[in-house]
A and B are shown apart, each in its own frame.
Chain A
Amino acid sequence: MFANLSPHLAPLQVVIPLIAAPLSLFLRNATAAWLFALVATWSAFVIACLLLVQVLDQGVLSYALGGWPPPWGIEYRLDAANAPVLVIVSGIGAAVMTYARQGILAEIEKHNQVLFFPVFLLALAGLLGVTITGDAFNLFVFLEISSLSTYVLVSLGANRDKRALSAAISYLIAGTIGATFFVIGIGLLYMATGTLNIMDLAMRIADMGDSRLVRAAFAFIIVGIGLKLALFPLHLWLPNAYTFAPSAVTVFIAATSTKVAVYVLMRFVFTVFGTRFDFQELTLSYLFLPLALVGMFVPSIVAVFQTNVKRLLAYSSIAQIGYMLLGLSFATIAGLTAASIHLFNHALMKGALFMAVGAVALRMGSTDIDAFTGLGRKMPWTMAAFVAGGLSLIGLPLTVGFVSKWLLIEAAFASGQWWIAGFVVMSSLIAVIYVWRVVELAYLHDTPEHVNVTEAPASVLVPMWGLVLANFYFGINAQFTTSVARRAAEALLGVFP
């Protein structure tokens, strides 16, 4: 039976969570729905790993949905650029689902608990669909599936804090404007080329070169995706959405949804518009590079002054997107390798950090920085995970953060802009300040008298430490991730070894 399934792994990747979502709605019991969703997310992860192995082995996998050959039908197309993103998204999805149960029980009101699972699975299916599809319009549809379910997931935090609702509506407005800009861009591209298949678009744009219509499409698409990925001045929806969403949701969206948007940006900037499109070079060096540099600093400095640890990490996420954008703006193999590996590494570190904060929220009922006072003794495993994630965020050697920054600095030197390396180091030093604020409170202060908490339960600690250990494992043994990221960069730039 399984042998018959293997050619159909690509659609199954999306179909399993998509079908599991409505099915889990029939399970009236939160535990049953959780177990069901757990199986679905882990099987998605296994499929993503199998697909990555196949891609690394064979290069490009193409699947024509319904037997309609591309470019007419919808194509699922996997290459070295998107197969690793599938692994990140589904891996984080599986880890979060394992982690989610306790948090969901504590943070969401009882009659809504069952509803969390279908919405989560839909968000996962949407993100996986965005990543795997080779069709520009299909990409928009999946983007909206994931975004709409993410708005709902964020609003589920309303039981704990009503600000989740205002965060959800501003996210919805920003996200919808972004998606609409994106779909206008796709429409203009269709007008210019008459195709929607990404590879076909790339070929036709390369043939026809520069035109005003293609430029307009480019601008609409960049702004649209920029809103979705919280590109620096378009990030205003992000801090509140991350802060007030339920902890499990924050882990999931912080580690996946902006990453997928970065992947889409890379796909459009490099694969679709490609290097033959002169306008792209200008955008990269006069728009993305300055925005990335400002984005590395301003949100980091804002993070230093936050009193809520979740919001602090949210601002830090915006700064980290700056790093990815920086790598992308070099438009070299080295730069894209750094951006792709940071996509993976940042998911690992922010996943671990937000899980640790979620565990504190579970025990203390708050994510205010004061709630962390003296927790080093009360919740040693959780706080150790926070410290490890924080070190990785700063970029200490032996962690994944170091690998990312090393490659980024190397790419900066290789492109002749050595001064950028200085900026990367300086913004890492700001990360030291905000991570230290939390660590200092947790370890160097006595626990307040009235605080009498115990360590988080094992179901929370195990996925958290899984991610922490991954931070160290891929930090020490970076061979595999670097080579995959390099192949991703080569696939995006269209250079095949």
Chain B
Amino acid sequence: MSAEFILGHYNYWVVIVLMMAGLYVVVSRGNLVKKIIGLNIFQTSVFLLYISMGKVRGGTAPIEIEGTGVIYSNPLPHVLILTAIVVGVATTAVGLAIIVRIREAYGTIEEDEILKIDHILDFGEGAQD
């Protein structure tokens, strides 16, 4: 693996790190708000992936310029990711709204405590795991 390869794929390394970090936060953290933030980081990595793939070497912003031989970057992935950003914001909003309701109903936003309360509701007080 040459240094050029490593440096040349700088964005993609960032994407992979963010993707794994986000997914790890979702899986490992018990706090629901932290889980949602983890999801956000995970989704952000996808935004970067799409934005990186739109770049054309030597290309300029895709706004029409007079003359021939102008190279433009590919605007389509950028447009797509605008939609995905909106989806991500909507998911965060719905998630946080549900967490607010959970806090009202359970008095906690820690997953293990919620599961404990659910377990008691499922099997009754004093049930063994």
Contact = CB atoms under 8 A, between A and B. Distances in A.
B116 to A, nearest CB: 11
Contact of A176 (B53, B77, B91): B91
A163 B46 contact: no
B11 to A, nearest CB: 13
Interface string B43-65: 10010011001000000000000
Contacts of A155: 98, 101
A173 B94 CA distance: 11
B77 A187 contact: yes
B98 A180 contact: no
Contact of B26 (A148, A163, A173, A179): A173
Contacts of A172: 91, 94-95, 98
Tell me whether chain A's interface is mostly helix, strand or loop, or mixed. Answer: helix
A418 to B, nearest CB: 41
Interface in B99-116: 99, 101-102, 105-106, 114-115
A166 B84 CA distance: 25
Contacts of B121: 161-163
A393 B107 CA distance: 40
A162 B120 CA distance: 13
Contacts of B105: 158, 162, 165
B2 interface: no
A166 B118 CA distance: 8
A313 to B, nearest CB: 17
B contact face: mostly helix, strand, loop, or mixed = helix
Interface residues of A, number: 28
**Highest count of chain A CB atoms <10 Å: which of B42, B53, B91, B98:** B98
A184 B84 CA distance: 11
Given A162-B106, A166-B102, A177-B23, A187 B49 contact: yes
Listed residue (A140, A148, A179, A183) with the most chain B CB atoms within 10 angstroms of its CB: A183
B5 to A, nearest CB: 15
A436 interface: no
A354 B46 CA distance: 38
Interface in B62-93: 77, 80, 83-84, 87, 90-91
Interface string B28-46: 0000100100010011001
A206 interface: no
Contacts of B53: 187, 190-191
Contact of B98 (A161, A169, A196): A169
A144 interface: yes
Interface string A165-204: 1101100110011011001100100110000100000000
B83 A141 contact: yes
B84 A169 contact: no
B43 A180 contact: yes
Contacts of A144: 87, 90-91
A158 B101 contact: yes
Interface residues of B, number: 32
A196 to B, nearest CB: 8
A120 interface: no
A369 interface: no
Contacts of B83: 137, 141
B125 to A, nearest CB: 15
Contact of B94 (A152, A163, A166, A196): A152
A151 interface: yes
Interface in A300-321: none
Nearest to B32: A169
Contacts of B94: 148, 151-152, 172
B32 A141 contact: no
Contacts of B49: 184, 187
Given A158-B105, A177-B26, A169 B95 contact: yes
Contacts of A140: 84, 87
B46 A177 contact: no
A76 B83 CA distance: 19
Given A173-B39, A177-B42, A165 B77 contact: no
A180 B46 contact: yes
Given A173-B39, A184-B49, A187-B49, A165 B101 contact: yes
Nearest to B50: A187
Contacts of A177: 23, 26, 39, 42
Contacts of B43: 176, 180
A168 to B, nearest CB: 5
A206 to B, nearest CB: 22
B114 A166 contact: yes
B101 A137 contact: no
Contacts of A169: 32, 95, 98-99, 102
20 contacts: A137-B83, A144-B87, A148-B91, A148-B94, A155-B98, A162-B105, A162-B121, A165-B101, A165-B102, A165-B106, A166-B102, A166-B106, A169-B95, A169-B99, A173-B39, A176-B43, A187-B50, A190-B53, A190-B77, A196-B80
Given A148-B90, A165-B105, 11 more contacts: A140-B84, A163-B118, A163-B122, A165-B106, A166-B102, A166-B115, A172-B95, A176-B39, A176-B91, A177-B23, A196-B80
Interface of A: 137, 140-141, 144, 148, 151-152, 155, 158, 161-163, 165-166, 168-169, 172-173, 176-177, 179-180, 183-184, 187, 190-191, 196
> When A and B form their complex, which 7 residue pairs have the shortest distance between CB atoms, in order from nearest?
A162-B105, A144-B87, A165-B102, A169-B98, A191-B53, A166-B114, A176-B91
